């Protein structure tokens, strides 16, 4: 199939491109590089072993997007393109509504206008807000605790409304838990701009000597060791689920909302210890106050993904840490250390 990958230069989108290309699909990347480097593309090409068509485009550029979709026949769209920093979304909510919701409206309209009717959408466990119980099932109550989460909730709802209005439109909303790790080659990985907000990239930067110590947000949660528990999943497992979801849309011709997680919780300190074991580096830690908005424990019930997609996470925490560290140790400054030239765009 020919697949348009919006946000394909980003962390998860780039790993999805590798999986899709490996299955024989033709991927076309669209990205405005607001949170990624064009150098991702030559790195991707090295893994795939073939050129990757890419366009520098903002999804809100309606004319540009429509021209791209009208110019060649796409069988499906994968939509990773969004801003995702929770704290930033609280400081600049309108930017998040404009980029995430505005970009998605423009994309859905361009798809409708050009007859592209299959969508795989990056949703998030953030749509569960502060869940009443864990593991979280897809039928748990939904809510938003910050503007980023609100954009994911609204985008899921918009996509649901479109599916009801157009019975030929097929969509999969994939609710990711905590994606971490990197492609085993170490050629692509997570490269956050500025100070990382998320635990694994922060850990990696401490191990690489870029940051002095990890601040552990809260040591007094009602968990086994007092630190927050999350459902970390390997980005390659997550990437594979996108191919499975597309397959589901094509074969079953039904819409889909699924959790993607391992179903297992890991505490901050457990992740730190696992990382230390595989990297051989010591991670200095300091327990500080809780981060506002964090919950104690969050992990998925992944049974629906297993039942409908036949998908389950295969790679465990040690492998997640090993692959994250492999990427980071080869690229201490992220893509700035990649031995490639940035591609020229027209």
Catalytic site positions:
148
**Alpha helical stretches, state H, the chain:** 11-22, 40-48, 62-71, 86-91, 93-96, 103-114, 147-165, 199-207, 235-252, 268-279, 303-309, 317-330
Q: Which is nearer to ligand NAD, 178 or 267 (CB)?
A: 178
Cα distances from 333 to residues 11, 179, 271, 273, in angstroms, run 15, 20, 22, 23
Chain residues that interact with ligand NAD, rule: CB under 6 A: 7, 9-13, 31-36, 58-60, 80-84, 99, 103, 122, 124, 176, 178-179
342 Cβ neighbours under 8 A, 6+ residues apart: 37, 38, 39, 42
Beta bridge partners of 259: 175
**Nearest CA-CA partner of 120 in 164, 151, 75, 161:** 75
User: 78 CB contacts (<8 Å, ≥6 apart)?
Assistant: 3, 4, 5, 6, 8, 13, 16, 20, 119, 120, 242, 246
Q: Closest CB to ligand NAD among 169 and 335?
A: 335
The answer to whether residue 259 forms part of the interface with ligand WQD (CB under 6 A) is no
- Residue selected from 47, 257, 268, 324 as contacting ligand WQD according to rule CB under 6 A: 268
The site partner of 13 among ligand WQD, ligand NAD, none (C-beta below 5 to 8 Å per kind) is ligand NAD
What is the Cα–Cα distance from 129 to 146, expressed in whole angstroms? 9
Burial status of residue 115 (CB atoms within 10 A of its CB: 0-12, 13-18, 19 or more): exposed
State the residue number with the nearest CB to ligand WQD. Answer: 228
* Residue 145 lies near ligand WQD (rule: CB under 6 A): no
User: What does DSSP say about strands 214-217 and 285-288: parallel, antiparallel, or unpaired?
Assistant: parallel
3-state secondary structure of 251: helix
Q: 286-325 mask for ligand WQD (x: CB under 6 A)?
A: -----x--x-------------------------------
Partner that binds at residue 82, options ligand WQD, ligand NAD, none, CB closer than 5 to 8 Å by kind: ligand NAD
User: Quick one: what does residue 305 bind among ligand NAD, ligand WQD, none, with the CB cut-off 5 to 8 Å set by partner type?
Assistant: none
> Of 176 and 325, which has the nearer Cβ to ligand NAD?
176
- Using CB under 6 A, pick the residue from 219, 228, 302, 334 that binds ligand WQD: 228
Under the binding rule (CB under 6 A), the answer on residue 266 touching ligand WQD is no
From the list ligand WQD, ligand NAD, none, which binds 36 (C-beta under 5 to 8 Å, kind-based)? ligand NAD
Q: Least distance in Å: CB of 173 to ligand NAD?
A: 11
Partner whose binding site includes residue 80, from ligand NAD, ligand WQD, none (CB under 5 to 8 Å by kind): ligand NAD
Query: What residues make contact with ligand WQD under the rule CB under 6 A?
Result: 84, 86, 124, 126, 178, 197-199, 202, 214-217, 228, 230, 268, 291, 294
């Amino acid at each position: 199939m020919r697949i348009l990958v919006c946000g394909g230069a980003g962390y998860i989108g780039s790993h999805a491109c590798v999986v899709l290309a490996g299955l024989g699909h033709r991927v076309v990347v669209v990205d405005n590089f607001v949170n990624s480097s064009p150098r991702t593309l030559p790195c991707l090409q090295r893994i795939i072993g073939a050129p990757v068509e890419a366009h520098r485009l903002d999804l809100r550029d309606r004319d540009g997007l429509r021209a791209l979709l009208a110019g060649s026949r796409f069988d499906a769209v994968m939509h990773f393109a969004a801003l995702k920093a929770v704290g930033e979304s609280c400081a600049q909510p309108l930017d998040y509504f404009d980029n995430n919701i505005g970009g998605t409206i423009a994309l859905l309209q361009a798809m409708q206008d050009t007859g592209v009717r299959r969508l795989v959408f990056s949703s998030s466990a953030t749509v569960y807000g502060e869940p009443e119980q864990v593991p979280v099932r897809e039928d748990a109550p939904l809510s938003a605790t910050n503007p980023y989460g609100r954009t994911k909730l609204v985008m899921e709802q918009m996509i649901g409304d479109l599916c009801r209005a157009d019975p030929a439109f097929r969509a999969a909303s994939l609710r990711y838990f905590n994606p971490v790790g990197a492609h085993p080659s170490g050629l692509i990985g997570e490269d956050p701009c500025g100070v990382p907000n998320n635990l694994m990239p922060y850990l990696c930067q401490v191990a690489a000597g870029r940051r002095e110590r990890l601040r552990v947000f809260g040591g007094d949660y009602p968990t086994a060791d007092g630190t927050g528990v999350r459902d970390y999943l390997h980005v390659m497992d997550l990437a594979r689920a996108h191919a499975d979801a597309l397959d589901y849309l094509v074969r079953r011709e039904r819409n889909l909302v699924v959790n993607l997680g391992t179903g297992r919780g890991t505490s901050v300190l457990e992740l730190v210890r696992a990382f230390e074991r595989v990297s051989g580096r010591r991670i200095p830690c300091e327990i500080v106050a809780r981060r506002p908005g964090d919950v104690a424990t969050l992990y998925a019930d992944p049974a629906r993904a297993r039942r409908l997609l036949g998908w389950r996470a295969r790679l465990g925490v040690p492998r997640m840490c090993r692959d994250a560290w492999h990427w980071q140790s080869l690229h201490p400054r992220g893509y700035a250390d990649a031995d490639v030239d940035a591609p020229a765009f027209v």
